[in-house]
Amino acid sequence: MIGVYVRVRADGEDYALPVDGVLEVTELGDLAPVPGSAPEVLGVHNLRGQVIPVVDLGGMLGLDRGAERERVVVVEGRDARLGLAVDSVVEVGGLPPPSEGAESDYLMGAALVDGQLVGIVDLEALLGALVVGSSA
């Protein structure tokens, strides 16, 4: 096992987020739109008085938006905090080392878990792209 991850589902595919970057999981709820934002930005969410942007994880990974987003995984790193909208949270647990490469800049690779590939999200690369993109 290489570490503990929060496994989520986005557009029918499983992805793993390192647990040390995850602050909490909450309901999607109502989002306030952000005019002129990137298509992946679904809006902003008021989380106990703190306004955080909510980004569609599937959209960031180039997936179709077939499923309804129901959960927000609040992540933090690179001096940024935001929510990743996902279909559902599958589990929290360990993963084997990556056995497959990844074509996305936001994935470190993929591990085979119970016969299914799970993409391992490079949270720092994802947050870095969003922080750079928001300051442009």
Instruction: Output the pLDDT for position 80.
Output: 86
Domains identified in the chain, total number: 1
Output the six-digit token pair for 102: 């990844």
Instruction: Output the pLDDT for position 135.
Output: 43
Let me know: does 118 contact 18? Beta carbons within 8 Å.
no
Pick the closest to residue 104 from 77, 82, 122 (CA basis): 122
Q: Domain range spanning residue 85?
A: 4-135
Instruction: Give the pTM.
Output: 0.90
Q: Which helix (H) or strand (E) holds 133?
A: helix 123-135
Q: Which amino acid is at 97?
A: P
**Confidence band, pLDDT 50/70/90 cuts, at residue 103:** confident
How many other β-carbons are positioned within 10 Å of the β-carbon of residue 134? Answer: 14
Phi, psi of 130 (to 5 degrees): -75, -40
- Residue 62 sits in a domain whose CATH number is 2.40.50.180
Res 133 pLDDT > 60? no
CA angle (58, 106, 125) in 5-degree steps: 125
Q: What is the per-residue pLDDT across 27-42, written as a single tens digit (0 to 9) for each?
A: 998 999 999 988 889 9
Output the six-digit token pair for 34: 């952000």
